[in-house]
Structure 1
Amino acid sequence: MVAAVLAFSLMDATAKALSPRIGIIPALWTRYAGQMILVLFLVRHRFPAVLKTRYPLLQLMRSLFLLCATWCFFIGISNIGLAEATAIMNINPILITIGAAVFLKEGLGPRRLIGIGIALIGALIIIRPGASVFSPYAIYPLVAAMFISGYNLATRFVGKDENIWTSLLYTGLFGTLVLSVMVVPNWTPPDATSIGLMILIVIFGTTSQLLLIQALSQGEAGLLAPFGYTGLIFATFWGVVFFAEFPDMWTIVGALVIASAGIYVWHRETFRRAKE
C-alpha cells in the first residue's frame, strides 16, 4: 500500500508538470491509454481468459470512479499546490471506512465516527471556505476523494474473486475509450520534454494501480486505508523539490488533523481486534 501511494504521488507530480504543457485532457488520456497499452502487452499471453469477469458492472463502475477521481484531481493539482490537493484528497481513507461499514460490513464503531468528524474538520481547515485564500479548485480534490473511495471499495469487493490482471485491465478500459474520443479536438503536439513526462505517467500510473489492487485484494479496506497518509509526506516533498511549493501553516495543521484522525481510528480498531 505504501509503495502504491509512492507511485501515485510520482504520477501526480508528473501530471502537474505535464498538464500546463499539453492540457488536462491529453494528460488524462496519456495516463489511461498508456496504461492500457502496457497492460495489454503484459497480459497478451493470458487472453482470452483475462477478459472473463464475474462482475462486469462493478468493473465498469471501478473504471468510471477512477476516471472521475483522476479527472477531478488533475484539475485540482493544476491550480493549487500539490501538498494542499493531496492533503484534501487524504480524507478518502475516512470515506473508505464509512463505505466499508455500509457496503462491505466491516464494522463502524463510535471511535471511527469520531475520527470521521475530526477528519472533516481537518479538510475544512485546509479548504477554508469563506476565507480570502479560498480557491474553488480546492473542491476538486474533495470530490476526487469521494470517487476514489468508491473505486477502492469496489476493488476490495471484486478482488476476492477476480484475477489481479483482469481487474487491472478493466480499470482503464472505460477511461481509455471515453478519453480517446475527447482527446482528438484537444490534442497539442508534445515536445521532447512532454513526451518524457508522458512516458513517466504511464509507468507510475500502471505501477500504482497494480500495487493498489494487490494490496486491496489481501487486506481489509479499512485497515489499509490509513497507510494512504504517507502520500502527505511524498506530495509535500515533490511539491518543494519540483515546484518550489511550500505549504502554509493551515495546510500543515489541517493535514495533521486528518492524518491524526485516521491513525487514531486505525490504532483503536487494531487494538480492539487484538483483544478479540
Structure 2
Amino acid sequence: MPHSASFPPAPVPPPPVPPPPLTGRGDRPALAILLMCLVSLIFSVQDAVSRYLGAHYPPVLIVMLRYWFFALFVIVLAARHPGGLRAALRPRHPWLQIARGLLLVFEIVVMLFAFVNLGLVESHAVFIAHPLIIVALSGPVLGERVGWRRWAAVGVGFLGILIILQPGVRVFSPWAALPLLSALMFAVYVLMTRMVSAGDGANVSLFWTGIAGAAGITVVGIGQIQALAPADWLPMAVLCVTGFVGHYLLIRAYSLAEASSLQPYSYTQLIWVSLIGLLFLGETVGLNVILGMVIIAAAGLFTWWRERQVKLQAPAG
C-alpha cells in the first residue's frame, strides 16, 4: 500500500517507506511525476495479486513470504549506502524503529484481510483517509499546529467515510472496519517515522522497516507455513518483484523531485485500483463508494495544498 508523508510503503496500500534522497542529480519533475504514477500502478497490481493469494492462503503467510524478499532488498540497499550495514544497524532510536517496523507489517496484514473480505476498491476507498488521520493526530502526538481549515477538511473526509460505510442504512459488516483500522495504523506509523527522522536517516528507517517487519511476521507466521501450489509460484514471484521494483522506482522519483510535490499523484492509485477491481476481479462499486472516494480524495488534496500554503507563508530562517 504508496502513501503520502515524508516516509510514505506500503503494500498493500500506497508506498509505505520513503526513499533516501539521492544527491548530485538535478530536479526533473516531469520524470518524477511519471515515475510516481507508474509506482501507483505497480502497487495496485501488487494489491490485486495479494488479494488473489490471500483468498487461497493465510494472509499472514503471504505477507511473511513477501517480507523475506523485502528484507533482502533493504539489506542490499543499506550495504550500498555510505556507511554500509554498520551504520544501518546502529539507529539512534532502536526501539522506536522496531516498533514502527512491526506496526507497518501488521497494518499490511490487516489490509490484506480487508482486500479478501471487503474487496480491493472499497478497501482503498476508505484507506485513502490516512492523510487526514495523520493531520488529526499530528497535533496531540507531535504538537504541530493544525488550523481550522485543515480540521474542516478532516471533518469532510470523515463524512466521505460515513457515505462509503453507510452506518444505519445497511447491515454493517465488521470487515468494513478493517481498512479504517489499517488507515489508523498507517497514520501512526507515519507519525512514528517523523519522530525517528530527527536522528535517523531515511536509509536507516527503510532498513529497519524491512528487518523488524520480517522478524515480527516470521514469529507469527512461521507456524502457518505451507507449500504453494505450482500455479501460485508465478503470482508470488510477481508479488515480490513488484514490491522490489515499486520501491526502487519510488526512490528514483523522490530523488528527482520534492516529496510534497509528488503527493497528489499518489491518488492515481485509486484509478488503477478501480479499473483492476472492476475489469479483472469482478468487483462492483456503488454510487456511495464513488461519492465517498471523491470527497475523501478532495479533502486530502486540500490538506496537502493548505500545508504547502502555510510553509510558503512561514518566515524564512
Q: TM-score, normalised by structure 2?
A: 0.76
Q: Name which of structure 1's ranges 196-205 and 54-63 shifts more when overlaid on structure 2.
A: 196-205
Q: Name which of structure 1's ranges 55-64 and 40-49 shifts more when overlaid on structure 2.
A: 40-49
Are residues 60 and 165 of structure 1, via their aligned partners in 2, closer, same or farther at CA, if it must alter by over 3 Å? Answer: same
Q: Which residue of 2 aligns with 1:182?
A: 220
Task: After superposition, give the CA deviation of every residue in 1:244-274 in whole Å (9 maximum; x if it has no partner).
Answer: 2231111001101111112223334434544
Are residues 100 and 6 of structure 1, via their aligned partners in 2, closer, same or farther at CA, if it must alter by over 3 Å? Answer: farther
Q: Which residue of 1 aligns with 2:174?
A: 136
Q: Which residue of 1 aligns with 2:119?
A: 81
Unaligned 5+ segments in structure 1 are: none
How far is the alpha carbon of 1:214 from its aligned partner? 8.3
Amino acid at match of 1:83: V
- Once the two structures are superposed, the pairs formed by residues 190-205 of structure 1 within 5 Å of their partners are 190-205=228-243
How far is the alpha carbon of 1:161 from its aligned partner? 4.1
Q: Which residue of 2 aligns with 1:244?
A: 282
Aligned length: 274
Q: Name which of structure 1's ranges 125-134 and 70-79 shifts more when overlaid on structure 2.
A: 125-134
Which of 210, 232, 238 is the equivalent residue of 2:270? Answer: 232
| Paired-residue identity, % | 28
Q: Which residue of 2 aligns with 1:257?
A: 295
Which of 59, 62, 70 is the equivalent residue of 1:24? Answer: 59
Which of 38, 44, 52 is the equivalent residue of 1:9? Answer: 44
Whole-Å separation in 2 of the counterparts to 1:219 and 1:182: 37
Amino acid at match of 1:28: V
Whole-Å separation in 2 of the counterparts to 1:78 and 1:229: 22
Whole-Å separation in 1 of the counterparts to 2:253 and 2:89: 18
Whole-Å separation in 2 of the counterparts to 1:272 and 1:184: 48
Q: CA RMSD in A?
A: 2.8
Unaligned 5+ segments in structure 2 are: 5-35
Q: Which residue of 1 aligns with 2:20?
A: none
Q: Name which of structure 1's ranges 184-193 and 63-72 shifts more when overlaid on structure 2.
A: 184-193
Q: Secondary structure at the match of 1:36?
A: helix
How far is the alpha carbon of 1:225 from its aligned partner? 5.6
- Once the two structures are superposed, the pairs formed by residues 60-139 of structure 1 within 5 Å of their partners are 60-132=98-170, 134-139=172-177
Q: TM-score, normalised by structure 1?
A: 0.86
How far is the alpha carbon of 1:5 from its aligned partner? 4.0
Are residues 220 and 160 of structure 1, via their aligned partners in 2, closer, same or farther at CA, if it must alter by over 3 Å? Answer: farther
More helix by share: 1
